[in-house]
Amino acid sequence: MDHPAEVWVPIGGIVLAGLMLLGWMRSLKQRRLLEDLPTSKVKGVFIGLVEVKGTAESEDPLESYLAEEQCVGFDWSVAEHWTRTVTESYTDSEGKSQTRTKTESGWTQIDGGSDLQTFYLRDDTGALRINPKGAKLEMTSVFDQTCGILDPLYYDMGPAHAVANSNFRRRFYETAIVLHAPLFVVGQARERQDIVAPEIAEDENAPLFLISTRSEEEVLRARGWSLFAWAFFGLVFIVSGWVIRDLGLLKKSAEEVWPGWLVPVGIFGGGLFLAWVLQVYNSLIDLRNRTNRAWSLVDIELKRRADLIPQLIRTVEGIKGYEKEVQKILSALRQQAKTGSGSGVVGLAPPIRVLIESYPDLKSITNFAKLSTELANTEDRIALARGYFNDQATCQNTRLERIPEGWLAQLAGFKQRKLWSATHLERSLVTVHFAENGAKKPAKKPTKVPPS
C-alpha cells in the first residue's frame, strides 16, 4: 500500500467496531441478568439479588416542588433559553484568513433540586422497605412547561436572575416516583436491623440496583433496542473502513469492492457469536452460583434453628403447669433438634400459638413467651430463605430447558435443581400504616443542585 491511510482507515473501523462489541456485550449481560432473575413476591424476598414489583408507598410522603404531587422522590430543573451571535476566523481553500458570523442558541440550567426518601414497595403479600440511595432511578415526568416572562410561573418557581443573551423563555421540568405508582425494582436484599424482615439497599458488589416506573417488559425492550444499536453501528464502522479505503483511496469500482465487504461482515458476525456464547456461559455460571448461595442461606438458617432449639428447650423445662400440651411441643422440638439441618423440617410456631390461645396464662411465663417469639422469628427466616432458594432454582431450571442456551448448558454439565419444601413454615407480614391520597401538605423545599 502506497498511502498510510490505506492501513489506518480499516484499522480505525475495526477499533470502533470493537468498542461497539464491548457495549453490546455489556447490554447483553444486563438483559440476561434481568431475564434470569425471578420476580419474587414481597413475602418471599430474602438475602440476595432480587427482582420485585409493586406500588410505591410511604408513611409520610414528600410533595414534589413543581407539580405538587405526593411522591417518594422527585427531581426538578429550570432551564433558560439564550441566543447569541459570534464572529470567528477561519482559513479558506486558498489559504487566506477570513471571518464570519454565526448564531448560536441553547438551554442553560439555572435552578434545580431533588429529594428522595426511604419508602415501601407493596404487593398483594405485604410490604418491603426500599432504601433508594445509590440506585439508578427511572422516574416519570410529572411536569413539563415552557413559558415566557409574562407567565406567573416564570418568577414564582424560577430565580430572579437571567443568563447572558437570554430570550426570556424558561422550561420547567420535573420527574417523580408518585405515591401508589407501579414500580419495578432490582437490587440486593439484606436483613433489616430492627425486625426480622428484608430490605433492598445499595450494595457495592451488586451488579444492578434499579428502581423504575417502567414495567419489566419496557425495561427489557429498551435493553433489546440497545443491543440492536450496538450491533448495527459496530457493523457500520467495520464495513465503512473497507468501503472508504477501497472506494475512496484505492478508487475501486463498486463491483470490485462488493466481495470484500463479506470479510468484515464475517469477522464482526463471528465476534458477536463468540460474545453471545461467552455471555450465555457466564450468565449460567452466575445463575448457578446465586442458586448455590440461596441454598447456603437455607442451610445457615436450619443450622441456626438446630442450635437454638436445645437452648429454648432448657429455658422452659421448669414449667410444671399445662404439662401434657407443653411436653408434646418440647418432644417435637427435641426430635427436630436431632434431625439437624436435614430434611423433615416442620414449623412449630403455629401449634405454639394455638397452645397459647387455649391457655392464655402461658403469656405471663417469660421463658415460654421467649420460646414462642424466638421460634416464630427463626421460622420466619427459614421461610424467607426457602422461598428465595426455590425462586432461584426454578429460574435456573427454566433457563436450562430453553433452546438454544439449554444445549450449551448440557455441554457444560449444568444440572436441574430440586426444590426444597417444609411443612407449616410461615412468614409473618410487616405491618406499615401508609399514607393515603388526601389533602396536600405544605411543600417541602428540596435540596438545590448547582446550575450546569
pLDDT of residue 1: 46
pLDDT of residue 261: 64
**25-43 average pLDDT score:** 84
pLDDT surpasses 50 at 169: yes
For the chain, how many residues are written?
Answer: 452
What span, in angstroms and rounded, lies between the C-alpha atoms of 78 and 449? 11
What span, in angstroms and rounded, lies between the C-alpha atoms of 382 and 43? 12
pLDDT surpasses 60 at 7: no
Do the bridges between strand 198-201 and strand 182-191 make them parallel or antiparallel, or are there none, so unpaired?
antiparallel
Of 22-26, 137-141, 280-284, minimum mean pLDDT range:
280-284
DSSP label at residue 423: B
What span, in angstroms and rounded, lies between the C-alpha atoms of 400 and 285? 12
**109-113 average pLDDT score:** 94
Tens digits of per-residue pLDDT, 316-360? 665 555 555 666 666 666 566 555 545 556 666 666 666 665 656
What span, in angstroms and rounded, lies between the C-alpha atoms of 112 and 76? 5
Look at the block and give the residue holding cell 461467552. 278
Do the bridges between strand 97-116 and strand 48-57 make them parallel or antiparallel, or are there none, so unpaired?
unpaired
- For residue 401, which of 169, 74, 393 has the smallest C-alpha distance? 393
**416-436 average pLDDT score:** 68
- CB 325, CB 348: distance < 8 Å: no
Mean pLDDT of all residues belonging to the chain: 79
pLDDT of residue 200: 95
What span, in angstroms and rounded, lies between the C-alpha atoms of 11 and 406? 37
pTM score over 0.75 = no
Domains located in the chain, CATH noted: 27-225+436-448 (no CATH), 288-411 (1.20.1440)
pLDDT of residue 337: 54
- CB 110, CB 161: distance < 8 Å: yes
Vertex 111: Cα angle to 110 and 117 (nearest 5): 155
DSSP label at residue 43: G
Higher-scoring residue by pLDDT: 86, 255: 86
Higher-scoring residue by pLDDT: 167, 388: 167
